[in-house]
Structure 1
């Protein structure tokens, strides 16, 4: 919870289940007048097919301040848009077609497109799965902080039955010794958790930018 100004607070909800946001919203509605509270969320329904790709693309470059450089992406998941419409557990179980892109050449191409600022939508593989009706649902970005040995893995994920956008920190480490050796994991601090909030806020700015163009 962060104080914005007198009488105004920002409350960030870290949902572990898709129903958590609904419960929190009801809690606030019970104690706060509707006009006094603003709820901000990001879900896949707010994005068109092309915006879904552009969102993932831009987030890799804008997620963190300029002193954090994107190195690579991993754990890329896609899901058919028809099954993103499923809202019940039974439907989700029947049509769980979420796929992880594991081929290293495809991951490399996606990473390079984001790193070099090329339009990810023009990537041959991405163009093919978009035409087939698939959308990005999750991606892990690895960033390195300039001038330091620190690296961080951040996952952007349209999660749960409602496909609400969430940000998680999966790993924080630092390079010790010679290059090429695996980094040493370090504890996730409050500062790192604050970075998660920054990524979400920047994601919201990207979404708002799409809305201004429509």
Structure 2
């Protein structure tokens, strides 16, 4: 959150220099009920720069400025309290995090955990050494946030928000240290390896078929197959929308018409060669406005990642790539984490009943 006053002249300069795209600001203001029709950046800047915007609005506009770091990335897992315990799992986790905070660590710095209505969150940071010999750029400070949502008295969803995938190792170490200290808690991973060969494919089909209140599936924009989830040396086979691949068109058609991924020739051949689907990129469109987003569900090692790849909106007939505000991205991430959790849990139960 920005806490200092941003002078309107600086705001105007961002628009004129097109660091804040006029179309982006028009989109943002239009959602607030403010409409401008200026056709160029200079005219638009003159019209808009005297509007008083608070710290919250300026923070959201900063998030909207086109930058890869403004797309939310997450890793998700569950923590489960053993049934013999009568304590609330949030109370136990809060106590353990505070214990870790009281002990100085060379690996990371923990901020004060904050209890919320449905769980808690805590942010921590660590220092990463960068390659190269420049002393000024030798170290980089990285930040992670753990959002812990209560699913029941005995179970929580751990939602790790990270700047990039390189941060997840430190977050997992932090969680494992908590679990080791508290014997009553187990980690429940959303682990693709726990699914049968059939259900490894079925997982991605059911995500595509999942019904959301505000969004509907438009197309599949990417698929990754891999020989295994644990061997980092195995190369991914990626089919991406940038390649204008007929293979991807066929996969989209198979998913959208309900025949499923297994009906696609590329998927069939990949499965015969021993590959598994390790990631899928889905593109959704809003049911009521012109925004769209691409979300990636991917598996590495034992865990599921849910990342927003890109978000889009339409302006004057053109589709523009533009990050949504963090609150909207957060809603999307949580919705897909919850749907993935539900689909995975259902498939595990079905396997047990077979």
TM-score (structure 2 length as normaliser): 0.50
Listed as ranges, the gaps of 5+ residues in structure 2 are 1-115, 120-149
Q: What is the CA deviation profile of residues 112-160 of structure 1, one whole-angstrom value per residue up to 9, with x for unaligned ones?
A: 111122122122221121111111111111100112111011111113x
**What's the counterpart of residue 183 of structure 2?**
34
Aligned mates of 2:270, 2:155 — CA distance in 1: 44
Aligned mates of 2:346, 2:308 — CA distance in 1: 25
Aligned mates of 1:105, 1:176 — CA distance in 2: 29
Aligned mates of 1:7, 1:26 — CA distance in 2: 18
Q: Which moved more, 1:15-24 or 1:48-57?
A: 15-24
Cα offset for 1:195? 1.7
Aligned mates of 2:287, 2:316 — CA distance in 1: 17
1:58 aligns with 2:206: yes
Listed as ranges, the gaps of 5+ residues in structure 1 are 87-91
8 Å Cα contact 1:176/1:184 also seen in 2: no
Q: Which moved more, 1:116-125 or 1:5-14?
A: 5-14
1:52-201 → structure 2 map (5 Å cutoff): 52-62=200-210, 65-81=212-228, 84-86=229-231, 92-93=232-233, 96-102=234-240, 104-159=245-300, 162-178=301-317, 181-201=318-338
**What's the counterpart of residue 24 of structure 1?**
174
Greater RCO (Cα-Cα under 8 Å, separation 6 or more): 1
Cα offset for 1:9? 6.4
Change (3 A) 1:210 1:169: same
Aligned mates of 2:177, 2:296 — CA distance in 1: 28
Change (3 A) 1:25 1:70: same
- Count of residues in Structure 1 that have an aligned counterpart in Structure 2: 198
Change (3 A) 1:150 1:49: same
Cα offset for 1:100? 0.8
8 Å Cα contact 1:169/1:193 also seen in 2: no
8 Å Cα contact 1:150/1:173 also seen in 2: yes
Cα offset for 1:38? 4.8
Change (3 A) 1:11 1:139: closer
Q: What is the CA deviation profile of residues 23-49 of structure 1, one whole-angstrom value per residue up to 9, with x for unaligned ones?
A: 122332366x332x4533212211222
TM-score (structure 1 length as normaliser): 0.80
Q: What is the CA deviation profile of residues 36-81 of structure 1, one whole-angstrom value per residue up to 9, with x for unaligned ones?
A: x45332122112221111111111222x614311111123111114
Aligned mates of 1:153, 1:123 — CA distance in 2: 21
8 Å Cα contact 1:68/1:145 also seen in 2: yes
User: Based on CA coordinates, which of the two structures has the bigger radius of gyration?
Assistant: 2
Change (3 A) 1:21 1:42: farther
Cα offset for 1:11? 4.0
